[in-house]
Structure 1
Amino acid sequence: MKMVKKSNLPTKVCVTCSRPFAWRKKWAKVWDEVLYCSQKCRRTGAGEK
């Protein structure tokens, strides 16, 4: 398996805290649906909507 540098990974901005976060292997199949950087932001963001 070829290693990819972290600087070359796609990034997004969290809709709750506005911090950038990088692609993770566990998000490979659902990357288009990922909106939050963490479970904490997911819980907080759900209440703000």
Structure 2
Amino acid sequence: MCAACNRPFEWRKKWERHWDQVRWCSDACRSGRVNVLNRNLEAE
């Protein structure tokens, strides 16, 4: 689950060596650009 938007995400080859450290689903979430509307939509 993404730490910013709570969306689930799947394993990716490029994260293979660091899967336990992956916290965000995208660069937008990592930089904190996810807005309140997206969080509300995901909560429903």
**TM-score normalised by L of structure 1:** 0.64
CA-to-aligned-CA distance 1:4-31 (integer Å, 9 cap, x gap): xxxxxxxxx0010000000000000000
> What residue ranges of structure 2 are gaps of 5+ in the alignment?
34-44
The RMSD of aligned alpha carbons is 1.3
- Count of paired positions: 33
Which has the higher relative contact order, 1 or 2, with Cα contacts under 8 A spaced 6 or more apart? 2
Percent identical across equivalent pairs?
52
> What residue ranges of structure 1 are gaps of 5+ in the alignment?
1-12
**TM-score normalised by L of structure 2:** 0.71
Q: Where do 4+ consecutive residues of structure 1 move more than 2 Å?
A: none
CA shift for structure 1 position 37: 0.2
For the residues of structure 1 that align with 2:32 and 2:10, how far apart are their CA atoms? 20
1:33 aligned residue: 21
Rg: which structure is higher?
Answer: 1
Identify the structure with the greater strand proportion: 1
CA shift for structure 1 position 32: 0.6
Identify the structure with the greater helix proportion: 2
